[in-house]
Structure 1
Amino acid sequence: MPNAAIIAKVSVDGQAERAVSMASNVKRNVIYNILGGAWSIALNLILVRVQLQTLGTEAYGLVSFGQTLMLMNTLFDFGLATTLIRSIAAEREKALAFVRSAAALYWLCALLIGTLIFLAAEPLALSWLRLERVAPDEAIAALRLWAIAIAFNHLMYLYVALLSGAQRLDLLNAVKALYISLYQGGGALLLMATSSLLSFMLWNALTSVIGAAIYALATRRAWRPLLSLPRLAWSAVRPLLKQMFSVYGTVILSLILIQVDRLFISRLLPLTQLGFYNTAFIIIQGIGTLQGFLSTALLPALAHDHGAADSEAFTRHMRRLLQVMLYVIAPLVFACIAFGREILLLWTTPEAAEGASRAMALLALGSLLNTISAADYTAATATANADVIVRVNLWLTAPYVALMYAMILTLGIEGAALTWIELNFIYLFTQQPAVHRRLFGTYRISWIARNAAPFLLFNALIFSMARLLYGALPSPTLITGLVFMMVALALSLIACTALLDTDLRRSGLRMLERAIPHRRIA
């Protein structure tokens, strides 16, 4: 981090040049992440539809359980990914020793993760899951193939962090689109041809190996030293241990809070119910993926502002992050709340739509509340203040886990979704004030009133009216419901544009003008 004496020597012209460059990087990163995220979500929706139609809800629930086991990758991350992004973005040359050490740790952990899940496959299939239609031997084989896929996915996390820190979001999203097209697009075609669970799981494992290799080559292309030979050096890791474990504490607690619902459902309810819940969760996760992409795109800029002691730019980026997230995410969330059943009928099967629609509406509301706190989480991570998040979650985790267990036993998957709403509502009165007091010395409720409330009110009004008008039709159909939803989405985007900061509106209009071809008149 540059000290005050160095900052004082930088010319005004140099500061302006770097500010313009950083603004350009932020805009470019946001665009690349949104495009990459949209492609990922679209293919994932296609794959899930094919899985439900060809495998059935229970086998799809088994695939979903394997995705839940992906939490092992986060468990063995140790805060390395976020620390890598922050270190490379702030001081690229000085971070190389840490990069080599982090790579060594990732390879060791990938081997350990794969071994643990492979050995645990039999007890998980026979003692943990409540199977009804899937044969135990088939479940064991599927979980062992998941072990291979998860191990190589862990290596992908390393390369994603390296490319993000180098701010090569263009290359990262191109590679991500290629890998996702191979895995999800190829997987959908394979299922349509075979309807075989084990064939799909074998494809999952194979494409994970190929994906890790593609990411490694992309990292080498972005900046050759990033892919230098892994070598663990304690001297490179020790100075960053505090940052790593601060982030790791946050990640572990977040992992428990985010994954415990599906773990309890897989244990307490039939695997079919996990299939219903994951069907709802996939759509909400897709929306949350956009939130994650926006946060990742702004994380290097926030880290740079903090390192340069530019509090004005830091506050501006943080405010704009919240506004852009709500502008993009709030309409999608309200569409899921107001027209969730229609979305599921279009996308999945009638059985899945009936079983998942109520849970999806509740999960959507919880995720909307989570979006309001997301900018604070990103800011705390970018400034090495993740310990604030850890302290809040330490108080909340045990009550949340106990409540989740009781609510699932009582209300099933809808109980799990209700508990998610309660957690994110509490965050608004605990986590957000704590982060603001650490970063700015004070917290004002006007932050939400000014930057979040208008987006929520506009969308609530627009989608409530659309739902009421649709429900008032003498014979509402799926097509008319989807038309009402699309009109509401368009009205929301138009109306909420006025709520964005002036500079954001101007940037958006300039991007739109460049995207629309103009015909020259001779």
Structure 2
Amino acid sequence: MLKRNIIANYLGQGWTALMGIVFIPLYIQYIGIEAYGLIGFFAILQAWMTMLDLGMTPTLNREIARYKAGAISIESILDLLRSMEWICAGIALLIISIIWFASPLLANSWLKVEKLPINTVIQAIVVMGFVVATRLWEEIYRGAIRGMQQQVWLNGMQAILATLRWAGVLAVLVWVSPTVQAFFIWQGVISIISIIIYARKTYQWLPDSTRYGQFSLHAIKDVGRFAGGMAVITLLALLLTQIDKLLLSGLLSLEQFGYYALAGVVAGGLAQLITPMNAAIYPKFTELVTHQDEAALIKTYHDACQLMSAVIIPPALILAAFSNPVLLLWTGNHTLTTAVAPILSLLVLGTLFNGFMNVPYMLQLAYGWTGYAIRVNLVAVAIIIPAILWVVPKYGAIGAAWIWITLNAAYVLVGVHFMYRRLLPEQKWRWYRESIAKPLLSGAVFAFGLAFIMPVAHERLEAAFVVLAASIFVSTSVLMIIPSIRKRIMRFFNPVLR
């Protein structure tokens, strides 16, 4: 089931990421780069509002995985789910109300609007509040479905809804109204449809019980410590990953912020390759930890770490070393390419280091150990936020991107040592050697070496050739040096080894 879920997650998330990225140049064509800056601001709001999830989604995921392993009863799950639904409804109303009342202040005082009418910006922000609230609610049900390990269905449905969300909104912009308000209204419509579908399927998959679920303070109290830890981790992670964007949205013009947001979206496409692995391995790790099967846990852990590296290192190095031809191929716009490429190269390397830490983080959560991540992130916040406040006003977007790399490299080079003192202590150097050092060094030599010797692309056809050729060489060099991936490739081409 784990392999099937991982494959389904990558196919589903890959399609979702493609839908979220491929149409962006057309959005900019119809609504302009300044209006696209509002979409970037929406992404910031959505990220910050995830702290109001209060750890409910990962907690529900973990508790349903524990129920599947026989550790708790169906009545407890039903009560927990119903309790979280009521809490989420209250939070959604709070989000909508706060953003409604704050929209004039945000439009007039925070965002540096130059061309768009202020009323247009205010209306767009109001609709953003509704969309953010609904997206938070639908995530609760997605967490429940992941805990059931029904990820094949989930990814298929997410792919369908992503197509409606991102391709559908292009149709709205072309044939109905080429405005940023129409963009966000369509997002809200799709989110409502998503909530209905996910909620119905969640309850269909839960076994019959002698009673319906009900709001229960006892159910909340039972998971309060883990959920509280997850809420604190989420808050600290937001401070570390979103404070740069928040500051830039107020310090830069909306147009300039649009360029940074565009680079962030492309780098975020790499992050879309990380979350499918997390979604599949988290419930599996939880199941193995519950059964105290350490041998299977170690094997699954290293397989997951190596697969993560195989998936994220090649595209990250291609985006970092060949940011100019990639952006030119995608947008066909030399102005956008010149403005965005330097920022993209840095952001994507930081995201790569962040990806290395995700499987170890899922292991921590499977053991219910949230305290470590809280302590590490507290130290990081104490260092990074003052650094951002000093660097961003002086160096702008490039300075913020360098801080993103420094933060995530420090996690990999320093923070992970303390985790391995408590969890799987004998596996640390194997992780460094097989999942990071060898594939990263091999891929980097090919990627940056090719970037140095290959001709500069001036047209889309030239850019396509450069990106394709580099991708083949870099991917091959990375995949063939990762032990578990190399063995699978050899078995595929040599039937005797099967």
Give the TM-score normalised by structure 2.
0.92
Q: Partner of 1:118 in structure 2?
A: 100
Q: Partner of 1:81 in structure 2?
A: 57
CA distance in 2, matches of 1:397, 1:225: 46
Tell me if the contact between 1:46 and 1:188 (Cα under 8 Å) persists in the aligned partners: no
1:353-390 residue CA offsets vs partner (Å, 9 max, x unmatched): 12111000001111122122222111112211121011
Tell me if the contact between 1:265 and 1:273 (Cα under 8 Å) persists in the aligned partners: no
Q: Partner of 2:454 in structure 1?
A: 470
Matched, 1:266 2:249: yes
1:55-112 residue CA offsets vs partner (Å, 9 max, x unmatched): 1111100111012111344111111111111110111424332222222212221121
> Identity, % of aligned pairs?
26
Matched, 1:396 2:380: yes
**Aligned residue type for 1:58:** E
Cα drift, residue 446 of structure 1: 4.8
Cα drift, residue 219 of structure 1: 2.1
Q: Partner of 1:250 in structure 2?
A: 233
Q: Label 1:505 to 1:192 Cα distance change in 2 as closer, same or farther (>3 A).
A: farther
Matched, 1:152 2:125: no
Cα drift, residue 502 of structure 1: 4.1
Tell me if the contact between 1:466 and 1:484 (Cα under 8 Å) persists in the aligned partners: no
Please state whether the residue corresponding to 1:384 is helix, strand or coil: coil
**Aligned residue type for 1:232:** F
Q: Label 1:35 to 1:70 Cα distance change in 2 as closer, same or farther (>3 A).
A: same
Matched, 1:448 2:432: yes
Tell me if the contact between 1:298 and 1:321 (Cα under 8 Å) persists in the aligned partners: yes
Q: Label 1:450 to 1:333 Cα distance change in 2 as closer, same or farther (>3 A).
A: same
1:233-262 residue CA offsets vs partner (Å, 9 max, x unmatched): 111111211111111111111111111111
The equivalences for 1:86-485 within 5 A come to 86-92=62-68, 93=74, 94-193=76-175, 194-223=177-206, 231-348=214-331, 349-441=333-425, 444-471=428-455, 477-485=459-467
Tell me if the contact between 1:171 and 1:218 (Cα under 8 Å) persists in the aligned partners: no
Q: Alignment RMSD, CA only?
A: 2.3
Cα drift, residue 30 of structure 1: 0.4
Q: Which segment is superposed worse, 460-469 or 408-417? A: 460-469
CA distance in 2, matches of 1:424, 1:78: 24
Q: Partner of 1:12 in structure 2?
A: none
1:269-301 residue CA offsets vs partner (Å, 9 max, x unmatched): 111122111111111111111111111111111
Q: Which segment is superposed worse, 193-202 or 257-266? A: 193-202
Matched, 1:66 2:42: yes
1:293-333 residue CA offsets vs partner (Å, 9 max, x unmatched): 11111111111111111112222222122211111111101
Tell me if the contact between 1:163 and 1:169 (Cα under 8 Å) persists in the aligned partners: yes
Cα drift, residue 178 of structure 1: 1.8
Q: Label 1:417 to 1:156 Cα distance change in 2 as closer, same or farther (>3 A).
A: same
Q: Label 1:207 to 1:503 Cα distance change in 2 as closer, same or farther (>3 A).
A: closer
Tell me if the contact between 2:111 and 2:249 (Cα under 8 Å) persists in the aligned partners: yes
Q: Label 1:369 to 1:417 Cα distance change in 2 as closer, same or farther (>3 A).
A: same
**Structure 1 unpaired stretches of 5+:** 1-24, 514-522
Please state whether the residue corresponding to 2:274 is helix, strand or coil: helix
Please state whether the residue corresponding to 1:276 is helix, strand or coil: helix
CA distance in 2, matches of 1:461, 1:487: 15
CA distance in 2, matches of 1:453, 1:433: 15
Q: Label 1:479 to 1:147 Cα distance change in 2 as closer, same or farther (>3 A).
A: same
Q: Partner of 1:15 in structure 2?
A: none
Cα drift, residue 504 of structure 1: 7.8
CA distance in 1, matches of 2:61, 2:489: 26
CA distance in 1, matches of 2:220, 2:179: 45
Q: Label 1:493 to 1:259 Cα distance change in 2 as closer, same or farther (>3 A).
A: same
1:103-128 residue CA offsets vs partner (Å, 9 max, x unmatched): 22122211211221122111111111
1:12-64 residue CA offsets vs partner (Å, 9 max, x unmatched): xxxxxxxxxxxxx1101101100111111111112312121111111100111
Q: Label 1:136 to 1:476 Cα distance change in 2 as closer, same or farther (>3 A).
A: closer
**Structure 2 unpaired stretches of 5+:** 69-73
CA distance in 1, matches of 2:276, 2:434: 24
Tell me if the contact between 2:479 and 2:486 (Cα under 8 Å) persists in the aligned partners: no
